[in-house]
Amino acid sequence: MSYFDAASAAPLHPVARQALLAALDDGWADPSRLYREGRRARMLLDAAREAAAEAVGCRPDELTFTSSGTRAVHTGVAGALAGRRRTGRHLIVSAVEHSSVLHSAELWETEGGAVTQVPVARTGAVDAGSYASALRPDTALACLQSANHEVGTVQPVAEVAEACRAAGVPLLVDAAQSLGWGRVEGDWSLLAASAHKWGGPAGVGLLVVRKGVRFAAQGAADERESGRAPGFENLPAIVAAAASLRAVRAEAEQEAVRLRELTARIRTRVAESVPDVEVVGDAERRLPGIVTFSCLYVDGETLLHELDREGFSVSSGSSCTSSTLTPSHVLRAMGVLSEGNVRVSLPAGAAEADVERFLEVLPGLVAGVREKLGAPVPVAVSEADVLVVDALGKRCPIPVIELAKVIGTVPVGGRVRVLSDDEAARLDIPAWCEMRGQEYEGEEKAEQGTAYLVRRIS
- Three-state DSSP class for residue 365: helix
Residue from 143, 164, 320, 433 carrying the catalytic annotation: 320
Residue 191 main-chain phi, psi, to 5 deg: -145, 140
Q: What is the per-residue burial (b if ≥16 Cβ within 10 Å, else e) of 394-433?
A: bbbbbbbbbbbbbbeebeeeebbbbbbebbbbbbbbbbbb
CA nearest to 179, candidates 214, 209, 149:
149
320 is catalytic: yes
- Amino acid 131 reads Y
DSSP assignment of 255-275 equals: HHHHHHHHHHHHHHHHHHHSS
C-alpha 260/C-alpha 282 separation (Å) is 13
DSSP β-bridge partners for residue 116: 92
- Three-state DSSP class for residue 143: strand
C-alpha 407/C-alpha 414 separation (Å) is 9
Cite the active site residues: 320
